[in-house]
Chains A and B, each alone.
Chain A
Amino acid sequence: MTPVQAWRDGLRRVAAAPSIIVGVWVMTSLISLPLALSLRGDLARHLGSSLAADAAASGVNYEWMQEFTDQASGIGLTFRPTILGFGAVLDNLSAFVDNTARPVLIVGAAAAYMAFWLFAAGGIIDRYARDRVTGVHGFFSASGVFFFRFLRLAIVMFVVYGLLFGYVHPWLFDRLYPRLVRSVDVERVAFSIRAGLYLAFGLVLGGCNLIFDYAKVRAVVEDRRSALGALVSGVRFVRRNPGATITLYALDVALFAATLAAYAVAAPGAGGAGWSMWIGFGIAQLYILARLCVKLIFWASETALFQGRLAHAGYVAAPQLAWPDSPTAEALQR
């Protein structure tokens, strides 16, 4: 199977399982919602019955936003103009590549979100590997089975990503970069150097990400119990298929970039508080759905490639999972 075929197959597999897309979107929204409601309460309290709300409702009341942020704490500090439209995407992407600290509550939400993905990963990859409907029962069975295996893998991932963002990134951007541009008096040159460092860091990050992805895929497809074994086999697969895996990863990254580009054009502005607000929110949710699909396509296409290259096509080694009956049912059967 070529990378392009795997990529197209990945697209097909994701499209064939809309309930997974809906499910991860619901979870993304559910984790965001409590904080959004909390912020909404803060905003409403600050506005009270002020006429400032009228301007804020009909457009942007930047003066009020500044007043609010000046007295805010916690997540309120993130309520800045950069949440608007495509600026929000740039803000997050820039914060990610520049390793910018976020408030504790945001980090907490992100941790919960990653825990959700860790749990759901087994079920999602299992669904894409089987390439057939597994149902709620099968999905959660697989998720439950692989959660603890992935939890062990997550320890390795935590260490690796921790090293990358805790040591490598600060070394590259806080120590090496200032040294490299120390005597640079042309901004374009400085940017080229920084872009080069982004690329270098991105390649390392992407490489790790690629290996961890195939570790998860192999763990599920081959029903591996050992997280370390899955990791080693992930490395082995990438090493033996470097062209295919990297090309496929690049295709997925290109899809991610295309998604961002599309949203850059379609991202809603401030708008009003009536129907335009909901239209804007709807467009933004389509973007979030697209981002989620891209993430799922990474896994689905990698699963397809692995199955096409190494495993029997469409074959999943893991036995059909059966949820155990309740102790009461088992007692009755005896």
Chain B
Amino acid sequence: MSDVGFVIAGYGVIVGGLAAYAALLLRRLARARQHRSPGDDGA
């Protein structure tokens, strides 16, 4: 495979970036839902 470094860097960052964002999003969502648990008035 020619230009293998560029191909790996291209795919790695794009697919890896998507996966990292998805994981971060799930974490943010879980944290936001935790804050909304009963008895928490946000104070």
Do A and B interact with each other, yes or no? no
Q: Which residues on B are within 8 Å of A, measured CB to CB?
A: none
